[in-house]
Amino acid sequence: MVGTEMTTQAGLISRFKGARHVERIKDTRMVEVSFESTSPELAARLANALVNNYIEYNFHTKYDATRQATGWMEQQLEELKLKVEKSQQALVNYERQNNIVNIGDKQGVAQSRLDDLNKN
């Protein structure tokens, strides 16, 4: 039974491949998809199904690539954020160790905190 089913499947696939025609339209990025069949409705349904499957596949491929790129960028952003925080902490430590007072930065931080409080 399994052998017969495989043979039938292989025959259907072979007929499907033989009946479909895909041609690139010159000087465009489009293709023309058609099917040969004794039933115009079946030919239209098969052509539309093939095109819709391709569009869905293409969408998912691009979506997956975008999702991977976004994940990578988020990881890079987090790493850069940690580096900036470490650098800022190292600067604060250096200023403390060397008795350096930077009034401009402290006023900026205080002003930023006041602005945040006023927003709430």
Cα 30 to chain center, whole Å?
A: 23
Write down the pLDDT at residue 13.
78
Write down the pLDDT at residue 57.
95
Write down the pLDDT at residue 103.
64
Residues in the chain: 120
Q: Are 47 and 58 in contact (CB under 8 A)?
A: no
Write down the pLDDT at residue 96.
86
Tell me phi and psi for residue 47, to 5 degrees: -65, -45
Write down the pLDDT at residue 69.
96
d(CA 99, CA 87): 18
19 - beta bridge partners?
none
Write down the pLDDT at residue 61.
95
Query: Which residues in the chain come in under a pLDDT of 70?
Result: 1-6, 102-110, 120
Q: Which two tokens stand for residue 81?
A: 């954020």
Write down the pLDDT at residue 74.
96
Write down the pLDDT at residue 22.
86
Tens of pLDDT, residue by residue over 88-119, are: 999 888 888 888 876 655 566 667 777 878 88
Write down the pLDDT at residue 14.
80
Give this prediction's pTM.
0.52
Q: Which amino acid is residue 35, in one-letter code?
A: F
